[in-house]
């Protein structure tokens, strides 16, 4: 999947607060094409559980890129579309040696220096945040749009912004240099996940991500 397209992309990240059955019921109702990438981010689950989550969700969402967070071993065992790596994970170069050819590798970064390093390590995209204050990072101020611009400018890869982003804030985030956004509870814990996903999709459709040469 080309993560730097004419339309900014929407990444959906699991909350760690829902069981698989609840999650499948939600994502099965999402409008086709509203979400581009699903991240399975369930730090408290075993490799066997993550493999089951991936198998079930990928069968349900064949049109969507599905990534496992951190657990390169589970991703390799199940032949996952790719992984999202944190700061304490393997490097993208190390992970790529273990994954299937063409696997998509994202790297979570928090500074321009980390973003540039992810590019040198041959990641496919970076996830930068948190942009605004968010309940998942209680008490920590957001890094802000200027920090997003700096990180995006330092890195030739698509930069996906995360943290406190709403449909109303989507335009300014993309204008600050993001190639897409990532959302957790803003969709999965909303009263109407399908409608909320559509609202984000519509907001992104009105924007154009910055092209990087």
**Pair 156, 177: CB distance under 8 Å:** no
Inform me whether the pLDDT recorded for 4 exceeds 80: no
Inform me whether the pLDDT recorded for 114 exceeds 80: yes
Q: Find all residues with CB under 8 Å of 183, minimum gap 6, and list them.
A: 10, 11, 12, 13, 162, 165, 200
Cis amide linkage into residue 23, ω under 30° from 0: no
Q: Can you name the residues that pair with 9 across neighbouring β-strands?
A: 180
Q: What is the pTM of this model?
A: 0.94
Distance of alpha carbon 184 from alpha carbon 66, whole angstroms = 15
Inform me whether the pLDDT recorded for 208 exceeds 80: no
- What are the DSSP E strand ranges found in 43-123? 65-69, 82-85, 104-109
**Which of 133, 144, 102, 125 has its CA nearest to residue 37?**
125
Confidence of residue 62 (pLDDT cuts 50, 70, 90): very high
Question: Strand 65-69 relative to strand 159-162: parallel, antiparallel, unpaired?
Answer: unpaired
**Pair 86, 108: CB distance under 8 Å:** yes
Distance of alpha carbon 112 from alpha carbon 169, whole angstroms = 22
**Which of 105, 101, 23, 95 has its CA nearest to residue 61?**
23
Residue 212's pLDDT is what? Answer: 67
Question: How is residue 194 annotated by DSSP?
Answer: H
Residue 134's pLDDT is what? Answer: 75
Q: What is the pLDDT of residues 131-158, one digit of tens each?
A: 998 766 666 788 999 999 999 999 999 9
**Which of 111, 164, 174 has its CA nearest to residue 141?**
164
**CB atoms near residue 87 (< 10 Å):** 9
Give me the sign of the Cα torsion angle 133, 138, 141, 144.
negative
User: Which single residue is written with the structure tokens 């990438």?
Assistant: 37
Residue 86's pLDDT is what? Answer: 95
Q: What are the structural domain ranges in the chain?
A: 9-205
**Pair 174, 209: CB distance under 8 Å:** yes
130 noted as active-site residue? yes
Residue 158's pLDDT is what? Answer: 95
Residue 3's pLDDT is what? Answer: 56
Q: What percent of the chain has pLDDT over 90?
A: 87
Decide if domain 9-205 falls under CATH 3.20.20.70.
yes
Q: Exactly one of 11, 44, 110, 130 is catalytic; which is it?
A: 130
Q: What is the pLDDT of residues 9-29, one digit of tens each?
A: 999 999 999 999 999 999 999
**Pair 96, 72: CB distance under 8 Å:** no
167's enclosing H/E stretch is none
């Amino acid at each position: 999947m080309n993560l730097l397209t004419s339309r900014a992309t929407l990444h959906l990240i699991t909350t760690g607060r829902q069981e698989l059955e609840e999650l499948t019921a939600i994502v099965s109702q999402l409008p086709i094409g509203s979400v581009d990438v699903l991240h399975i981010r369930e730090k408290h689950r075993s490799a066997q559980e993550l493999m089951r989550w991936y198998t079930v969700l990928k069968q349900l969402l064949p049109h969507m890129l599905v990534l496992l967070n951190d657990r390169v071993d589970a991703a390799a065992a199940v032949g996952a579309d790719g992984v999202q790596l944190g700061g304490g994970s393997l490097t993208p170069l190390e992970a790529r040696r273990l994954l299937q050819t063409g696997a998509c590798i994202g790297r979570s970064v928090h500074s321009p220096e980390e973003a540039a390093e992810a590019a040198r390590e041959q990641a496919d995209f970076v996830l930068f945040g948190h942009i605004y204050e968010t309940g998942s990072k209680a008490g920590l101020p957001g890094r802000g749009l200027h920090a997003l611009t700096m990180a995006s400018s330092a890195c030739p890869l698509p930069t996906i912004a995360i943290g406190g982003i709403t449909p109303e804030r989507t335009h300014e985030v993309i204008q600050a240099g993001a190639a897409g956004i990532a959302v957790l509870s803003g969709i999965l814990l909303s009263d109407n996940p399908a409608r909320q996903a559509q609202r984000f999709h519509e907001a992104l459709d009105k924007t154009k991500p910055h092209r990087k040469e």
